[in-house]
């Protein structure tokens, strides 16, 4: 997760070798909004990790 230039939250999907696979394609006004989107995505990728770069 990261914040874009407009201070909105976004997330990307990265493989274990740090290769970017995809991004969520939309921004979220709150950190909790993007976290919920990531949780939904993790249902399909249970071994994935979340890296929060907003802190």
Collapsed DSSP state (helix, strand, coil) of residue 31: helix
Judged against a pLDDT cut of 80, whether residue 55 lies above it is answered with no
Q: Contact 51/1 with Cβ under 8 angstroms?
A: yes
- Residue 27 is assigned to a structural domain of this protein: yes
Number of domains in the chain: 1
- pLDDT tens per residue, range 6-43: 999 999 888 878 888 888 889 999 999 999 998 888 88
Mean predicted confidence (pLDDT) in 41-46? 84
Q: Which residue has tokens 């939309």?
A: 26
Residue 9, number of CB atoms within 10 A of its CB: 22
Q: What is the pLDDT of residue 51?
A: 86
Provide the whole-model pTM.
Answer: 0.77
Here the CATH number for the domain that contains residue 26 is 3.30.160.160
- Residue 8 is assigned to a structural domain of this protein: yes
């Amino acid at each position: 997760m990261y914040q874009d230039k407009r201070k909105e939250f976004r997330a990307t999907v990265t493989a274990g070798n740090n290769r970017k696979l995809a991004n969520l394609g939309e921004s979220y006004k709150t950190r909790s909004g993007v976290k919920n989107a990531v949780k939904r995505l993790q249902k399909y990728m249970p071994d994935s990790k979340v890296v929060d770069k907003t802190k």
